[in-house]
Structure 1
């Protein structure tokens, strides 16, 4: 790279953070509050869900210019998701036989703007899977190390739930949960008969106000559109905005990081080179500490592209593990028609933006033929219909119970079609398993030697396949779904997935929970980071996204990203005060 072509900024920041999602937003919040001068780089544009320019909340489905089609956003026009699995000019590739789908978010706050707000703590056993089962890898930290930070996150951000005393699902500091809706009461009743726990869900949505900056949920069920009351957690509104108000954060949007720069004499990180995505100008900024939080795959891409004579294999990669042990949550789902939910009186059943109940992992894997567990998420009820909803009528071979109780052809045209849809509305339920895979060295991302994006930055190439562990787990999910549906008196829609399609196991990457490409560990020969997510090779370089995690857990990872980032940020300030960085 020719330095003459790069514009160099004169200011030297205390910390440069790449990425404004859960990890980056928390680092910016914590470090700026402690007085550090921070540059926050975000590859996407500015976003504020309370700004009139961005509000899509409470719009009717028919207000969508494309009637809800995801032609400009992956989940439809109104969803707060700028980006997707495919972005024009920003390709990635797969090796033959691989099938990894990589979701990139291009907006302030990243993927925290459109996630499900499922906010679960990892359990004590999640940190020591290898010791317990001989499969996978132990973390260099345990639950006791991270638990105080979970507590701080609960208080700072807010999460509703209930005290259950479950070993695999540690309790937190909870706001009151919303009441279950009718279909959820039926799911709970069925679960009780089957000895499957169904408990209040744990979502980072404010059922009560916790401060003057954020309002309480008003139950429109549209968290995915971005909340103008800031009642749900998004990094952009809950962390980045307060960080900017300190006066210690310089936010730089549309900044696509190319590489971490290093000092030739010391090998320490000295700054970040990024491309302005609007002008295509390349700019280098200087910093005393560099924190990567660009997402697991993007952070590994930056490190692998940060080559020099000292770091010929990529930065922080003397172990050779950067990019390796990539894994995403498993996912399989099933939906059903429940005749007893037909012909109901109409009332507002929106609720919060997500499930009011869920099923935590309840079984002992030592008695099963797969080594890791999963939780179950549920949906259904009389929420706002999407444009063009058919809600599974086709899964019943086009027939539904008539008013006389006999099966009849569904709909047709005009008044008959409208009547059938009205009767069917609210009688549809669904469930999805989200499980823990076993991290494998053979699942990885690397730099494609032949492809660059429109900014001239080499792109990632993926190699990923599910193992028999995940396939057997998906089979167990499908068997469980059918048990619950049958106990509810429901009719499962479509054919039950079988071995020919891995029992409905979603394509890797489709659950958007990827972790593990810059794993932490105690041994520098087998890990890239230490227990504080500090690079073994470069002491002033940190990674605070899920790339640092050695394993997934059967939980969504966002709460653990936040807690670990807060812990790392405190460590950075402590080490900076001691001149150790």
Structure 2
């Protein structure tokens, strides 16, 4: 049996989750003077604390030489979590597949993400009006733009003004210069009529305040930055919020359910399990903010049943858990013979791409709706185990600069020589696209399975449709076009219809959104346009669950903007005595 312990204090706000949405809400509400309880299911993490620093360590300093056996992205990556967590299962329905990534650390996934910080554009909020598919958001770009601007100023993002209608410009810091392979990509894009522009990443190339350093080009943002030069919720939002004295941070707090008043139906607090002691606790709060991720927030709401909320909290519409969708993904790599035998120099750059391709085509002329952007990799980054595997992709031989071929690899000195010759001669391309929200893609509570804390788990039902599969096909056609323009040799085999053109399994891109969607009609949505639950006015959802649709952009910048907007609404409602 769990031991029940009550917290004596009644907090103004209890926030569940410390990632982008939860961190922003904690920061804004604490600055406004609210007394906040911040629950995080994982442990404490500060990338500037020597206890946690893995930045600037060599792969061989890891017991597993940097392998991904204990963490999905390598031993030194700041990813405490994964698609599979011991004692925390999830299930699947009808033989479908969805891989659910959970992060168990302060700051959540923001500690090890790609920092790709793109605004949704005017079209992205009104897709139904454009193509008749899905639904429009209850808000438009002009509603969110002031918050995007404030996020740019607070956190910092580099980029360039391009005046592309649906790829809105921000308040940018100077972008880092392209590396050699990126110069080749820009040239190839021009030849193929595919735009390749400076990327937009939340990494500081200039100082914006005295508390954070500037990027020193170690290219290891995935390990989280000890100088606070990149954006992680832990370092940029949560730790400063805690320093106000208004935030009580509780780590290893696995939320079980939202508690409600049987008469009013309003939230009264949160029940959580201490993951280390396996004791159950209650936090009392006047307002509850869910920011646990789209899947986890849906799970919490569906598990929060009562006489007033028989289908789960905020679920009189029955849409909680539905319209789940992740970004589409497909990738290809290539070998560039003219980049062999490169002179060695420091080419690390920021921890990610210096250039990218925004969506550039008109879907009316294509056989699929919505679009995608392309992320590029390459250059002379830190070698790791598995480096040079492209030799095998060339079937044992590779073309030389003078047009002849040479047997690749071998053993001993020959193998080492080829690894050195191939170093820096690869490029990678990854498409990240927009799926059309589908009511038949959902998560629900499994009636038979609980996790090790006794909490019922999620069961997923998810299938890609022809819309997404045709989009992946187009991605690969674009990759081949770019590789040809680069003068490169495509590695591997171009995937075909038998593999759905190489589209990544749902959930693998870790951009899932849409399970607690907002809308004006409470019969078809869970939240209003301020991320506030229709059924319980003191409940807000500020993670990707509130999204009506994904767009062909990464969701983090929009999560941050909408969380700030919801926080302002909470403050306003409290002042008006509506909460």
- Give 1:81-480 correspondences, 5 Å limit: 81-401=79-399, 405-480=403-478
Deviation for aligned residue 1:96: 2.6
1:552 — aligned with what?
A: 550
1:65 — aligned with what?
A: 63
Deviation for aligned residue 1:193: 1.2
Distance 2:308 2:31 in 1: 35
Contact 2:48–2:227 under 8 Å retained in 1: yes
SS at 1:441 equivalent? coil
Distance 1:312 1:219 in 2: 53
Q: When the two structures are aligned, how many residues end up with a matched partner? A: 579
If the length of structure 2 is used for normalisation, what is the TM-score?
0.99
Deviation for aligned residue 1:528: 0.1
Distance 1:309 1:32 in 2: 33
SS at 1:542 equivalent? strand
2:23 — aligned with what?
A: 25
Distance 1:369 1:65 in 2: 49
Deviation for aligned residue 1:402: 5.3
SS at 1:153 equivalent? helix
* Aligned counterpart for 1:6 among listed residues 4, 8, 29: 4
Q: 1:124 to 1:404 in 2, by over 3 A?
A: closer
Distance 1:225 1:387 in 2: 17
5+ unaligned residues in a row in structure 2: which ranges? none
Distance 1:505 1:405 in 2: 34
2:36 — aligned with what?
A: 38
Distance 1:138 1:102 in 2: 26
**After the TM superposition, which of the residue ranges 68-77 and 403-412 deviates more from structure 2?**
403-412
Deviation for aligned residue 1:390: 2.1
Contact 1:26–1:235 under 8 Å retained in 2: yes
Contact 1:62–1:387 under 8 Å retained in 2: no
Distance 1:180 1:160 in 2: 13
SS at 2:30 equivalent? helix
5+ unaligned residues in a row in structure 1: which ranges? none
Contact 2:450–2:457 under 8 Å retained in 1: yes
* Aligned counterpart for 2:563 among listed residues 544, 562, 565: 565
Contact 1:92–1:461 under 8 Å retained in 2: yes
Distance 2:62 2:404 in 1: 37
Distance 2:377 2:539 in 1: 41
CA displacement 1:473-517 (0-9 Å, x = unmatched): 000000000000001100000110111101110000000000000
Deviation for aligned residue 1:263: 0.8
Distance 1:484 1:267 in 2: 56
Deviation for aligned residue 1:404: 6.5
Contact 1:391–1:428 under 8 Å retained in 2: no
SS at 2:123 equivalent? helix
Deviation for aligned residue 1:537: 0.2
SS at 1:471 equivalent? helix
Contact 1:334–1:430 under 8 Å retained in 2: yes
CA displacement 1:48-98 (0-9 Å, x = unmatched): 011111100011111111112222211110000000000000000011321
**After the TM superposition, which of the residue ranges 202-211 and 412-421 deviates more from structure 2?**
412-421
1:484 — aligned with what?
A: 482
**How large is the Cα RMSD of the aligned pairs?**
1.0
Contact 1:328–1:514 under 8 Å retained in 2: yes
SS at 2:476 equivalent? helix
SS at 2:520 equivalent? coil
Contact 1:201–1:357 under 8 Å retained in 2: yes
Distance 1:5 1:579 in 2: 36
* Aligned counterpart for 1:518 among listed residues 516, 519, 526: 516
Q: 1:391 to 1:161 in 2, by over 3 A?
A: farther
